[in-house]
Structures are given as structure tokens and as C-alpha cells.
A = this chain, B = another copy of it.
């Protein structure tokens, strides 16, 4: 999916919500575990169908599939195929945080863009240019580079000062030169929303993938205050807050309600920022 198509979807739906698909067998409804042959896939299908009207993107997190070995990877492949077939207008992010020497990153790019048909993959920047560039060689595919993450440990290295500027800003500034607004985004966590203002000085036009709203404590209003640009420029992710809203048979209904709540707030923010269809 290219940038124009993504912006079109966001404006048409008045939502920039991304639903994170992190299926944890200890948290998904018990009856699915008993009744279903592939409970992860069934869980995902129902979550996807219920939340699709309120979001523009889905983000399966690879770890939650790899943890269940081959059968987990099969659930992931089926989930992605299900999205591609039934919701082709949704942006599909493989949250895999890959990054390795050039020939190895190239193998990962094939795996995620060609085999799994994801639109985007999250990429760890520590290894530098040849670990990121292979993900930028595919038409209408995206590398989403870790900038400032939403977790406790983000302060260990990302906030180290170099020439009076945090490392994460150096990372975003340098990586932005390797790609462009049409093939690169950055992860910037919602838990430090004021830092989005610093990020916007460096990359005013890039899309930012913002995790940490909901279970991790970030505020949507704060994120938008500092991060919104004229094209919206944000994909705000919620995983646990949506998909585990209920552990009963109504889990999909409750997930839809949580997604709608965020999407309603987004609509209001877009309207008051005068971003219309």
C-alpha cells in the first residue's frame, strides 16, 4: 500500500487506529482453547472482523506466533491471508523488529514482504544502514524503524545525549536520509508524548507508528497534540486494551466497542484539526 492510499483510507474512515494482534493463549477466551482446532486463528478472525470498521491497520506481533512454533507460524500465515483476502484496504504491519547485516536483512525482507505479503515491517536500527536499506527496496512496502519506544528500558540507550541531542533523534534523523516519506515510518511511543514535538521537528511529514496507548498508559489526546500533521501522519496502535477487553464469548463485541471508542476520539480530533475527507 502506498502513502496516498493510506492517507485516503484514514480520511475516508476518520480513523488512524491500528489494532495489534498479540494472541496469548493464556489470555484468549478459554472456550476457544477447548473447541477450536486453531484457537489463535479463530480468535484473530473474530477480532479482525469486529474491529475492521474502526481501524485502518492491523499489526500482528511475530513473537506471539513464534512462541507456539510451527503451528503458531501457520496461524500467523492464515491470519495474514485472511486480512489480505477480506480487508485488502487495511494496512498490514508485521511487528517483528528485525535488522541484521545486509544479506540477512534481505532474507527477512523477502520473508515478510513477498512470502507473508505484509505492507510494512518494524526494524531495529542498531546495526545501521545496511541493516535497514534492504527493507526499502520493495515497491509500496515500508520499513518502520524503532525511534523512541514505549517501554521502561527505552531510557537506557535511546535517551543518551550525543552533542546535546538524544540518541533516538540521531537515529530518526539519519535513518530518514536512507528512505523517504513513502517507504519509511518511525516507532515513537505514546508514553512520552511531549517528545513527539522533538520528533516532528526532524521528520514533519513521516508517518509515526505510536504504541503505548491503552494498556501501557499513553494518552491519545496528548499524542495528537504533539504528533498530528496535515495528513494525520500517525498510526496509533492498541493491542491488549482492545483484544482482551473481555475473556468471554462476547470478546469480539467488547473489542469492537473499545476500538470504536478510540476511533470516535480520533474522528473528533481530526474534525477539530480540520482534517476532512
Contacts and interface: CB of A to CB of B under 8 A. Distances in A.
A59 to B, nearest CB: 12
Contacts of A156: 125, 128-129, 174
A183 interface: no
A151 B111 contact: no
Contact of A126 (B64, B115, B146): B146
Contacts of A131: 151, 153
Interface residues of A, number: 55
A189 to B, nearest CB: 9
A104 interface: yes
Interface string A54-92: 000000010110111110011001000000000000000
Interface stretch (A2-10, A40-48, A160-168, A199-207): A160-168
Total identical chains: 2
Interface in A175-221: 216
Interface in A3-39: 22, 24
Interface of A: 22, 24, 61, 63-64, 66-70, 73-74, 77, 97-102, 104-105, 107-108, 110-111, 115-116, 124-132, 146, 149-158, 160-162, 167, 170-171, 174, 216
Given A63-B111, A67-B111, A167-B167, 19 more contacts: A22-B104, A61-B100, A63-B105, A64-B104, A64-B107, A67-B107, A68-B111, A69-B77, A70-B70, A97-B100, A101-B216, A124-B126, A126-B149, A127-B158, A131-B151, A131-B153, A156-B174, A157-B170, A162-B167
